[in-house]
Every structure is written in structure tokens, then in C-alpha cells.
């Protein structure tokens, strides 16, 4: 028989099992991610742009 690894949720401090082999998060965190992914992506993009501009300004001085 083939042993299968039990995948756990990749969310911080969550040790629940995922519902399918291709899933990354448990059901609760999957719903949260799907509902907020556009907001999370835009925030990360904004913070990355700010960090990049700060680094460029330091290099120019």
C-alpha cells in the first residue's frame, strides 16, 4: 500500500488538514482568502512600491 502524506493548512499557526490534495488552505482559511485576495494583492503591491521607492532614493543620495 502507498502511504500518503497528510497536507496541513499553510495559514500561520493552523494545523488543520486540507480538504483536497491540491488545496493549500483548510476550508475556513480558503473562504477567507477567496473573499479578500484582491485587497491583499493590492496592499502587497502598494507596500512593495513604497519599499522600492525608498531603496531607490537611498541609492541616489
Q: Express each pLDDT in 19-38 by its tens digit.
A: 888 888 898 888 888 888 88
Q: In this structure, is the dihedral angle defined by the CA atoms of residues 16, 19, 25 and 29, taken in order, positive or negative?
A: negative
Q: Rounded to two decimals, what is the model's pTM?
A: 0.53
Q: What average pLDDT does the chain have?
A: 87
- At 56 the pLDDT is 92
Q: How far apart are CA 11 and CA 60, in angstroms?
A: 39
Distance CA 31, CA 48 (A): 25
What's the pLDDT at 24? 87
**If you search the block for the grid coordinates 525608498, which residue do you land on?**
54
Contact present, 23 and 30 (Cβ < 8 Å): yes
Instruction: Decide if 16 contacts 8 (C-beta within 8 A).
Output: yes
Amino acid at each position: 500500500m502507498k502511504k500518503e502524506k497528510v497536507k496541513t493548512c499553510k495559514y500561520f499557526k493552523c494545523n488543520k488538514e486540507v480538504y483536497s490534495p491540491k488545496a493549500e488552505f483548510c476550508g475556513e482559511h480558503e473562504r477567507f482568502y477567496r473573499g479578500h485576495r484582491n485587497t491583499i494583492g493590492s496592499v502587497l503591491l502598494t507596500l512593495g512600491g513604497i519599499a522600492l521607492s525608498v531603496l531607490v532614493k537611498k541609492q541616489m543620495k
